[in-house]
Amino acid sequence: MKSKIQDIAILQTGLFAKPLTIGEVVYLQSKHFDEQGNLIASLHPDLLIEDISKKHLLRAGDVLFAAKGTKNFAAVYEEPNLPAVASTTFFVIRLLGSNVLPEYLTWFLNNPNTQASLKAQAIGTSIPSISKQVLEELEIPIPSIEKQKLVVSISKLRLEEKTIQMKLESLRDKKIQTQIFIEINK
């Protein structure tokens, strides 16, 4: 079965705000994530809670989609100890019902085929942007929850495998460079 994202979720834009030095709410920006949507920066609260509408506060399971610029990715918001909001770089996708896992939707949006399709529909030349309408109209296959869990699990294992391979290559390089260094200094 396939559904349009607008049929399984509510999309809203992120919040425009000017971060402060100290605050009570984390202001999530694309610079906090890598290309795969993994958090790479330590987060600290930089907005005041009274300046934020409750509808903009993120909930566990919300999917953030970076729609502006060349770094398009999706990430699942997992509720930390501090409340957070998304910047205007993101669309916040809040799933309706329980027939689609946030992690599965994230996998689908990060899939190279989906990324290519979305990038082909981006507008703007200096800062490409994927519109809300394009994202809402995107069709997603919806297998059973068991298959969604399997897809997510396979994807995570593949990412772990890639990380291990990169570490192994780095260790091999160090070993070879050390051996060469020792050999030329005999």
Residues 160 and 138 in one domain: no
Q: Print the domain residue range for 180.
A: 144-186
Residue 60, token pair as written in the block: 């566990």
Q: Other C-beta atoms within 10 Å of 166: how many?
A: 10
Question: Distance between CA 78 and CA 129 in Å, rounded?
Answer: 25
Residues 98 and 21 in one domain: yes
Residues 62 and 148 in one domain: no
Residues 42 and 132 in one domain: yes
Residues 168 and 184 in one domain: yes
Residues 135 and 110 in one domain: yes
CATH number assigned to the domain comprising residue 69: 3.90.220.20
Residues 154 and 134 in one domain: no
Residues 12 and 69 in one domain: yes
DSSP-derived pairing of the beta strands 26-28 and 84-86: parallel
Could you report the per-residue pLDDT of 130-171, keeping only the tens digit for each?
Answer: 999 999 999 999 999 999 999 999 999 998 998 899 999 999
What's the pLDDT band for 38 if we cut at 50, 70, 90?
A: confident
Helix (H, G, I), strand (E, B) or coil at 91: strand
Residues 35 and 126 in one domain: yes
Q: Which residues, 6+ apart, have CB-to-CB distance to 92 below 8 Å?
A: 11, 12, 13, 14, 58, 62, 63, 64, 86
Residues 64 and 9 in one domain: yes
Starting at the earlier edge strand, list the strands of the sheet with 90-95.
Answer: 9-13, 90-95, 63-66, 74-76
Encode 152-186 in three state secondary structure: HHHHHHHHHHHHHHHHHHHHHHHHHHHHHHHHHCC
Could you report the per-residue pLDDT of 77-119, keeping only the tens digit for each?
Answer: 987 767 899 999 999 999 998 899 999 999 999 999 999 999 9
Residues 104 and 161 in one domain: no
pLDDT at 124 over 90: no
Work out how many domains the chain is built from and give that number. Answer: 2
Residues 74 and 109 in one domain: yes
